[in-house]
């Protein structure tokens, strides 16, 4: 599923994504971002970090949130207004994708929550689910990688699990979009040897819905 400039997401793109999700549980779409858009978004993340928008990610719920770097070592920044222009363009693209997925599969996707995730070297995120009790509306998870010139020795893969077993490691290549149905999909972020940057989020429903 390759987004062009200007980006366009069509029924063929959404249909291919759904086919991969149903067959494997995870969809990988390389080249979703052009190199220029990747660089622009990475620069947006850099500006947000420099002005102090990022915070250490914590685990838990409500008032029991705590920083546990041995479990989760990333720093996050929610994509909220005012937006930089590249962020606004990306949200337009993801909105097209949401509408096409609803039209072709009736997933009931209502809105999107999205944040930057920056991992310093050596940091990771142990095996977990994206759908805790207070996030039951999350239907489709997505990760868009913003890492330039990433190589196999750099680490930082997204490790996907099926039951007790790891069945796939997905490298965080720049411009790559990874999607998966949120409910019950355990995954982990393996430590990397260099800083690792992504945009991570969830298409949500108005309420908890059965997944197809």
132 lies in a domain? yes
**What integer pLDDT is reported at residue 13 of this predicted model?**
65
What is the band of 2 on the pLDDT scale with cuts at 50, 70, 90? very low
φ and ψ of 98, to 5 deg: -60, -45
Q: Tell me which residue range forms the domain holding 135.
A: 14-62+71-204
Band of pLDDT at residue 206, cut at 50, 70 and 90: confident
CATH of the domain at 148: 2.60.120.620
Q: In this predicted structure, which of 9-13, 20-24, 67-71, 113-117 has the lowest mean pLDDT?
A: 9-13
pLDDT at 184: 82
DSSP 139: E
pTM across the whole model: 0.88
8 in a structural domain: no
Q: What is the mean pLDDT of residues 9-14?
A: 56
User: Residue 211 domain-assigned?
Assistant: no
Question: Quick check: is 4 in a domain?
Answer: no
Specify if 7 maps to a domain.
no
Residues 6+ apart with CB under 8 A from 88: none
pLDDT for residue 54 is more than 60:
yes
DSSP sequence for 67-102 = --TTTB--EEEE--SSPPHHHHHHHHHHHHHHHHHH
Q: Is 9 part of any domain?
A: no
Q: How many of the other CB atoms lie within 10 Å of CB of 179?
A: 23
Q: Provide the number of structural domains found in the chain.
A: 1
Distance CA 25, CA 7 (A): 25
Q: Judge whether residue 176 has pLDDT over 60.
A: yes
The pLDDT tens digits for 82-116 are 999 999 999 999 999 999 888 888 889 999 999 99
pLDDT at 211 (0 to 100): 44
């Amino acid at each position: 599923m390759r987004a062009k400039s200007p980006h366009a997401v069509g029924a063929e793109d959404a249909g291919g994504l759904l086919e991969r999700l149903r067959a494997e549980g995870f969809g990988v779409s390389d080249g979703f971002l052009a190199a220029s858009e990747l660089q622009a978004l990475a620069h947006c993340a850099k500006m947000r970090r420099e002005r102090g928008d990022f915070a250490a990610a914590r685990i838990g719920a409500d008032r029991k949130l705590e920083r546990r770097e041995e479990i989760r070592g990333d720093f996050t920044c929610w994509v909220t207004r005012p937006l930089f222009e590249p962020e606004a363009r990306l949200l337009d693209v993801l909105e097209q994708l949401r509408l096409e997925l609803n039209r072709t599969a009736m997933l009931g996707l209502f809105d999107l929550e999205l944040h930057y995730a920056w991992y310093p070297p050596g940091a990771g995120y142990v095996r977990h689910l994206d759908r805790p009790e207070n996030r039951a509306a999350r239907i489709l998870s997505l990760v868009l990688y913003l890492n330039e010139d990433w190589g196999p020795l750099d680490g930082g893969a997204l490790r996907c699990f099926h039951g007790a077993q790891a069945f796939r490691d997905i490298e965080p290549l720049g411009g790559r979009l990874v999607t998966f149905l949120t409910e019950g999909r355990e995954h982990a972020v393996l430590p990397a040897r260099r800083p690792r940057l992504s945009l991570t989020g969830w298409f949500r429903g108005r309420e908890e819905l059965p997944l197809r």
